[in-house]
Structure 1
Amino acid sequence: MAQAVYGTLQRWHAPQQTVSVSLLPNARSPFKDESTAPSHRLAMIRQAIMGTTIDVSELELWQTPPVYSIDSVRTLRERFPHDCLIFIMGMDSARTLDKWREGLGLTDHVHLWIFNRYHNTDSNRGTSIDPKVLAEQLPSDLQARVVPEVSSLLTPWQAGKGAIYIDPRPIPAIASTDIRDALNGAEPAPDRVPDTLHRRVYRYIIEHQLYSAGKFR
């Protein structure tokens, strides 16, 4: 998703604008009780983005969890008061923003760029769904903020005027839980895991015996 956004913004941005897309790993999701050590997750991200145009931000990573997205976007807005800041997420997350800590307030500080991630079991997998249909799945308070074009996210920032763009391109959902289950042997064919991971990341997991993957040496 990050690379898709970068490529699109490169085509749409004004000559005076600079495009930068960063991954924002969390110290630990507020919805999880534990996670892999931040140092390992940062190392795996760096392996994955090596040689790409994508960066990584350590803004959240070293804070005492839980760390909330609303606090991060406030910090970023303070640092970059005039920039067009865009928060990228999947529709599966966007549907539940009313359950996040002040999730409906994200658009007070940033724009949202939402992808519809499909699972292999979905009947409409791999096909585009009308963004207007997807917009109806958002919390009602956010539906009026949906815009039809990427260009609406690139206008000068006005406080509290964050817009929401729903990308029609279908993106396969690759859940970290599924990958961990495969590495733990919960899935019948853990040899398929490299198909869903960058090879450098997979090697790192094996070398450091993360997620009980030592048996795959």
Structure 2
Amino acid sequence: MSTIQKIGILGGTFDPPHNGHLKLAIHFARLLHLDELLLIPSGEPWQKGSGITPAEIRFQLTEAAGIDLTKALQYLKIPTQVGIDRIEIERAGPSYSIDTAKSLRERYGPETNLIWLTGVDSLIHLPSWNTWQNLFSYMNFAVASRPNYDLATEMSPEISKTLEKHQTLDLRALEITPYGLIYIDESLSVDLSSTDLRNRLKTSDRNLIESDQIPSHTLQIITKLGLYQ
């Protein structure tokens, strides 16, 4: 087992956090033997446009999801510690992943393995991120497959070249290398979306959304505050 500290990073708008996020987190926590897993709600998600729930409320929803995530990890005997990080909320201006990557590298030092956890849909759109190519100088990427996204047919020439340079098929290499690799895992396929759940919460289907889609503690806050109506 590697002695290098392994930190998983799951960023997002989390508007709201859902069980797809948690399943992805649990999957990679087990697969990569993560020491710690950070959920990082974005402060100002510059690609999402207007109408986003205020950052402090999204942070509260993510904290609640973290309770369910911690319980699930404990039940599955996965010794990964969970943290909900305010790094993007407390940073003024648009939330750029490259700024987060730099700050986390400064926090954890050059030897720590930082692994950005995401879905293949985000990998496809990676060239739209601010200075995205610099991300590989700070972290690795662990990418999960998603229904309705075929990487082979949808990826741009930029992503194709990036995979040629950075992709590894060796899970062990991802575990022991601090940054610069992409690992694509096709054993997980989650078909949940915050956008779809928000839309359903605004309809008569609201009462049909249960804790198998949104973490139970998060759903309690959504109901209590009357969010997404």
Report the TM-score, using the length of structure 2 for normalisation. Answer: 0.75
* Structure 2 CA distance for partners of 1:99 and 1:170, relative to 1, 3 Å: same
Structure 1 vs Structure 2: percent identity of aligned residues? Answer: 24
Unaligned runs of 5+ in 2: 1-23, 71-80
Residue equivalent to 2:46:
30
Which residue of structure 2 lines up, in the alignment, with residue 210 of structure 1? 227
What is the SS of the residue equivalent to 1:62? coil
Instruction: Tell which has more relative contact order, 1 or 2 (C-alpha 8 A, sep 6+).
Output: 2
| 2:123 maps to 1:94 | yes
**Residues 1:141 and 2:161 aligned together:** yes
SS at 1:31 equivalent: coil
Q: Distance in 2 between matches of 1:116 and 1:156?
A: 22
**In structure 2, what residue type is equivalent to 1:58?**
R
- 1:89 aligned counterpart, secondary structure: strand
Contact 2:67 2:217 in 1 (8 A): no
Q: Secondary structure at the match of 2:186?
A: strand
RMSD over equivalenced CA pairs, Å: 2.2
SS of 1:36's equivalent in the other structure is coil
**Structure whose CA Rg is larger:** 1
User: Which of 145, 150, 172 is 1:116 aligned to?
Assistant: 145
Give the alignment of 1:50-61 within 5 angstroms.
50=67, 52=70, 53-61=81-89
Compared with structure 1, are the counterparts of its residues 83 and 135 closer, same or farther at alpha carbon in structure 2 (3 Å cutoff)? farther
Q: Please tell me whether the aligned partners of residues 115 and 141 of structure 2 are also in contact (alpha carbons under 8 angstroms).
A: yes
Tell me the residue number matched to 1:14: none
TM-score (norm 1): 0.79
* Mean Cα deviation higher: 189-198 or 107-116: 189-198
Q: Deviations over 1:11-66 (max 9, x none)?
A: xxxxxxx7111111101211122321222111111211215143211111222341
How far apart are 1:136 and its partner, in Å? Answer: 8.1
Mind listing any 5+ residue stretches in structure 1 that lack a counterpart?
A: 11-17, 213-217
Structure 1 position 73 matched with structure 2 position 104: no
Q: Note if 1:192 corresponds to 2:215.
A: no
What displacement does 1:94 show?
0.5
Q: CA distance change for structure 1 residues 65 and 177 in 2, over 3 Å: closer, same or farther?
A: farther
Letter in 1 for 2:100: S
State the aligned residue count.
189
CA contact (8 A) 1:135 1:143 kept: no
Counterpart contact for 2:115–2:140, Cα < 8 Å? yes
Q: Distance in 2 between matches of 1:46 and 1:135?
A: 37
Partner of 1:5: 28
Deviations 1:75-100 (A, max 9, x none): 11122221111111111011111111
Given residue 149 of structure 1, which amino acid in structure 2 is its aligned partner? Answer: D
Q: Aligned pair 1:151/2:175, yes or no?
A: no
Identify the residue that residue 12 of structure 2 maps to in structure 1: none
| CA–CA distance in structure 1, aligned partners of residues 89 and 25 of structure 2 | 18
Contact 1:9 1:19 in 2 (8 A): no
